[in-house]
Structure 1
Amino acid sequence: MKVKILDTTLRDGEQTPGVSLTPEEKLRIAIKLDSIGVDIIEAGSAITSAGERDAIKKIASEGLSAEICSFARALKQDIDSAIECDVDSIHLVIPTSDIHIQYKMRKTKNEILEQAIESVEYALEHGLVVELSAEDATRSDFNFLKKIFTEGINAGAQRICACDTVGVLTPERAYDFYKKLSKLDVPLAAHCHNDFGLATANSLSAIRAGANEVHVTVNGIGERAGNAALEEVVVALHSLYNIKTNIKINELYETSKMVARLTGMYLQPNKAIVGENAFAHESGIHANGVIKKAETYEPITPEMVGHKRRFVLGKHIGRSLLKKHLERLKVKVNDKQLNEIFQRIKELGDKGKCVTDADLQAITEDVLGIPSKKIVEVQEVTVVSGNKVTPTASVKLKINGKEILESSTGVGPVDAAIKAMKKCLDYFADISLEEYHVDAITGGTDALIDVMVKLKYKDKIISARSTQPDIVMASVDAFVSGANRLLLEVYENENIRA
């Protein structure tokens, strides 16, 4: 069995309050969705605006492998707008619940039925594939719902979809509901919303009951509490039910990050499959198990979805994980020294601090009585930024005993500061910034900022982090920490020019 994926990130997902994508952004997302194997892309609702039609036209003309679909109400003008955009199909939606028919549509059931049939026939006459969708299907009178679908199929609709528009299904009810609809003997889709946090579970139950298509959005974005999440549904089908899709699972994390960036809808860290903490371990018991065998506390590998495993140093750390970190830093300690380092990390964790590699190295050097030798030290950092002011930074570093003062401009204060530091370091070594990543660890304007950098010197690459309330100083500290580690490692073997 293989399940088709209809992704509605560009339609239902864009209906998330605060999300508005440009035609170019929608095209970028559509290209990505196509490349990972989405079968049907609901590119938008063509009737919405000229800009929406422009976006749908761009996507439809891109020559993608996926079927390109437009949302349409059972109205001639909606269908004409979709035809104008040269889409392959329409997601033709008609309300079927009493509350929608009476209060939203202000029509009779017979009028709704006639409207549905006429719309199906009109769309088919114009060469469109029709997926007839019942809005609020799960609160509808089932006999009327079945009649709408039966008449629509008789009129030529190739697929049907039942929408749990307000997310009131439970997994048990979802199974029974979609099981009855699967007997209509045409491709059946499930469209589940997440108002009670059950969208993924209900989608999986629908597929078990006979649905062979599922509507999803990347990261589960959508109106109110959102939709069933693409990454959750696909990975659960693959790993728990042995049901296949055409999705390239190893690209899900990358796709998630792209959509989060373009929509501005960033994920909570503990989001299943793609959250930053989905494969992060701090607890000593868990981390120790994962080190020995990943499957002890990971049902899937991070590599499977294109993610990475992360071990966090904090108050829950165990000695085994700490020892692994020290081995990675090429530090040898005895049991007494290990215990002292362990206790210091616990104390920092109790104060709410995330312990970085730089912190660990400093603690370890202090415990071992090793002089904290630094080739690079920060003497002074000044940044200027504001409205109509080019971000500028002045940095004074002490490098190998010599003070170097440089300044630079950038696209922002962080960029300017890093460029100024790079100019200082260029007198001694050609260190390049390979990667920069920032996260707000806590909420509020006084949030702790966690900065991670990857630096390269010759063929050596290292990571360094810093956690501070000030993003500029966290970035400077991470860069200097990384530079020290790089240069100290080669200091004995190379004559770094002064």
Structure 2
Amino acid sequence: MEEKVPVHIIDTTLRDGEQAPGVAFDKREKIALAMMLDQAHVDELEVGIPAMGPAAQDEIKAIAGLNPDCLLTAWCRALKDDIDQSLLCNVTGVHISFPVSDIHLEAMGKTRSWVLNQLSVLIPYALQRFSRVSVGAQDAFRADMAFLEQFVHSANLRGAHRVRIADTVGLARPSQVENMVHVLSKAAGKMALEFHGHNDLGMATANTIAAIEAGAQAVSVTVNGLGERAGNAPLEQVVVAAGTLDSRSTCVDARRLSEICRYVAEAVNRPIPADQPITGQAVFTHESGIHCAGILKNPDTYQPFNPETVGRERAQLVIGRHSGSGMIRHVLAKAGVRLEEGKTESLMAAVRMEALKKRSVLSPGELVRIYNTV
């Protein structure tokens, strides 16, 4: 069997995730989250923006003081002062972000020649101060492809370790991502390519997996997909989805994901929806008669992976309006009740009526009570 090549996972919850409107982590929460992500073997944390001032720098230094195994990166604008501010924070490296689309260049009052000139100045400047330097192509999917290739080629020539291809407004589709990674890989040479996806059209995870399959060496994500507007590619979805690929994987311990996701949800007061992929409370719960019958014989029948894979308990089978006779017999048997012949249809009718009235699932105790009543 071909050995899987791991993709470098960069969590940017503490930078891009915190930019979601109304979201703010205090110092204690940032330290706790950084520790949890490091213990889960996330490869790199983008821990903040030093240029925001002394408070942000103090938080970043506190995380660096943990001496984590993962790399720590600070986010910078294309300014020497931002790089200097990062030097105060004891991080491993810096990420320098550049506008590359004409829309963003015009909005920021910059030109393509300015971008290329700043690349030639700032990458060497940062490399003199940090062991890792990455640069970002902001709004890459609305940029001119020829200019984008020139940007990537120039970053490679100047010695950058990685280029981030950012779908800044979440407009990309998987086929576009795949094509861009293939095209830019030639310009990148041995320099790593990273994909950074937003979820405005609901395709951040799909786009990130497309980038991985196309050969991107790194991807950036956030816990619960936290981020501006519709958010970013969720760490938990990307890690589990990458684990289903034939040739790629991650080093992240997926069993720790549920705990990390719950922690962030509570910290920012954004509860995880019941049907949220991977971590939603209901994603391993089954009511349908056909599904429950299949699960009882083999859990793989109607589940893509075992709940234990992501630190969850085994599948939960519940009684409701769509339950079949086999499931009802199973639950009654576990409660020590044998379903008498001839009572199945009347019991199922009563169960469906009660479930509709209650608009919820029924407990084993409620099922036994209905059985006794029937």
Which segments of 5 or more consecutive residues in structure 1 lack a partner in the other structure? 368-498
Q: Using a 3 Å threshold, how does the CA distance of structure 1 residues 144 and 220 change in structure 2: closer, same or farther?
A: same
Q: Secondary structure at the match of 1:134?
A: strand
Query: What is the aligned partner in structure 2 of residue 441 from structure 1?
Result: none
Is the CA contact (8 Å cut-off) linking 2:194 and 2:219 kept in structure 1? yes
Query: What is the aligned partner in structure 2 of residue 421 from structure 1?
Result: none
Query: What is the aligned partner in structure 1 of residue 95 from structure 2?
Result: 91
Q: Provide the identity percentage.
A: 38
Query: What is the aligned partner in structure 2 of residue 319 from structure 1?
Result: 325
Give the distance between the partners of 1:18 and 1:322, measured in 2 at CA: 46
| Alpha-carbon shift at residue 49 of structure 1 (Å) | 3.5
Larger radius of gyration: 1
Give the distance between the partners of 2:27 and 2:119, measured in 1 at CA: 30
Q: Secondary structure at the match of 1:336?
A: coil
Query: What is the aligned partner in structure 1 of residue 28 from structure 2?
Result: 24
| Alpha-carbon shift at residue 48 of structure 1 (Å) | 1.9
Q: Secondary structure at the match of 2:265?
A: helix
AA matched with 1:129:
R
2:370 is aligned, of 360, 363, 369, to 363
AA matched with 1:269:
A
Give the distance between the partners of 2:55 and 2:322, measured in 1 at CA: 51
1:33-67 Cα offsets, whole Å, 9 max, x none, are 01111000111112124332222111111011000
Q: Using a 3 Å threshold, how does the CA distance of structure 1 residues 237 and 353 change in structure 2: closer, same or farther?
A: closer
Q: 1:143-154 counterparts in 2 under 5 A?
A: 143-154=146-157
TM-score normalised to the size of structure 2? 0.94
2:258 corresponds to 1:247: no
2:48 corresponds to 1:41: no
Q: Using a 3 Å threshold, how does the CA distance of structure 1 residues 22 and 284 change in structure 2: closer, same or farther?
A: same
Give the distance between the partners of 2:312 and 2:284, measured in 1 at CA: 8
Give the distance between the partners of 1:323 and 1:195, measured in 2 at CA: 45
1:300 is aligned, of 286, 302, 305, to 305
2:45 corresponds to 1:3: no
| Alpha-carbon shift at residue 77 of structure 1 (Å) | 2.1
Q: Secondary structure at the match of 2:51?
A: coil
1:410-430 Cα offsets, whole Å, 9 max, x none, are xxxxxxxxxxxxxxxxxxxxx
Which segments of 5 or more consecutive residues in structure 2 lack a partner in the other structure? none
2:109 corresponds to 1:106: yes
2:172 corresponds to 1:169: yes
Give the distance between the partners of 1:311 and 1:51, measured in 2 at CA: 49
Give the distance between the partners of 1:333 and 1:267, measured in 2 at CA: 38
2:277 corresponds to 1:272: yes
Give the distance between the partners of 2:247 and 2:373, measured in 1 at CA: 52
Q: 1:450-465 counterparts in 2 under 5 A?
A: none
2:69 corresponds to 1:62: no
RMSD of aligned residue pairs (Cα, Å): 1.5
Q: Secondary structure at the match of 1:233?
A: helix
| Alpha-carbon shift at residue 340 of structure 1 (Å) | 3.5
2:83 corresponds to 1:79: yes
Is the CA contact (8 Å cut-off) linking 2:212 and 2:248 kept in structure 1? no
Is the CA contact (8 Å cut-off) linking 1:9 and 1:221 kept in structure 2? yes
Is the CA contact (8 Å cut-off) linking 1:220 and 1:227 kept in structure 2? yes
AA matched with 2:362:
V
AA matched with 2:318:
V
1:431-483 Cα offsets, whole Å, 9 max, x none, are xxxxxxxxxxxxxxxxxxxxxxxxxxxxxxxxxxxxxxxxxxxxxxxxxxxxx
1:202-222 Cα offsets, whole Å, 9 max, x none, are 111111222011111111111
Give the distance between the partners of 1:266 and 1:48, measured in 2 at CA: 28
The aligned length equals 366
Is the CA contact (8 Å cut-off) linking 2:74 and 2:93 kept in structure 1? yes
- Choose between structure 1 and 2 for higher RCO, CA contacts under 8 A separated by at least 6 residues: 2
Give the distance between the partners of 1:220 and 1:192, measured in 2 at CA: 10
